[in-house]
Amino acid sequence: MTYDDFTIEKLHDGIEIVISTEHRFGTDAFLLADFAAPRHKDTVCDLCTGSGIIALLMYQNFKPKHIDAVEIQEKAHRQLKLSLERSQITDITPILGDLKDYCPEKQIDLITCNPPYNIVGTGAKNESAQVTNARHETLCTIDDVCAAAKRALRFGGRLCICNRPERLCDIMVAMRSNGIEPKRVRFVSKDPEGAPWLVLVDGRKGGNSFLKVEPQLYTQNPDGSFTDEMKRIYRQI
């Protein structure tokens, strides 16, 4: 199958990413990849990978040992395959399939997921089924993500998720019910006057009960320019 709406955007270090009308990316992907910060020795999986932006950013910025990138929608999967071919990357394996079936041969160190944010029946619907599936929990829920992480992570392995702040309780309940203890939380706001628009959560499989709330991340200065932290995340400084 071929698609006529594929376009190319360049990241850094010669990495190219294929995007489409339905499968694009935003600031949350950069924030989650930076928050997860895999080690060089880590084996990683990005669930709900979409265009593969989080997997590509982790590869670009942290060079973990290997990354699986799981996506259920064929078009997005095809985009990532083309991105890997164009960028000559072999350390990311694109997997077309349902995250509920994901079971690596060996348990892994880190799972990231930028899941659908909206509960079914809430939020504005899109005419495109692919966009609806990416934004609403039609194909998977937060609990499905945490159950997949429970199966795939080694003891002590980490699950890093981003979502809207109003889903924070859902994330923590789903993590704990699957044996993953929330260990770090960070809220993201445009500026000190604005309410958070994103929350980042890091949970550890088999971890003890202790939660660190990290300093809030602000994306813009009063003049509308990026903060120094956002410049670092975007690799502008």
- Is 162 among the domain residues? yes
pLDDT in tens, 130-161: 444 444 345 799 999 999 999 999 999 999 99
| Residue 229, domain member (yes or no) | no
Is residue 98 one of the residues assigned to a domain?
yes
Q: pLDDT category, 215, cuts 50, 70, 90?
A: very high
Average pLDDT over residues 160-188: 97
Q: pLDDT tens, 84-103?
A: 999 999 999 999 999 999 99
Q: How far is 198 from 61, CA to CA, in rounded Å?
A: 22
Identify the pLDDT of residue 3: 67
| pLDDT score at 82 | 97
Residues in the chain: 237
pLDDT of residue 94: 98
How many separate domains does the chain show?
Answer: 1
Res 127: pLDDT:
58
Classify residue 70: in a domain, yes or no: yes
Name the residue range of residue 157's domain.
7-179
Place of tokens 């000559």: 88
Q: What is the pLDDT of residue 138?
A: 55
Q: What is the pTM of this model?
A: 0.91
- Confidence at 116, pLDDT banded by 50, 70, 90: confident
Alpha helices in the chain (DSSP H): 27-36, 53-62, 74-87, 129-135, 142-152, 168-177, 228-233
Here the CATH number for the domain that contains residue 20 is: 3.40.50.150
Please tell me the distance from the alpha carbon of residue 213 to that of residue 235, in angstroms, as a whole number: 25
Judge whether 237 lies within some domain. Answer: no
Residue 4: predicted pLDDT: 73
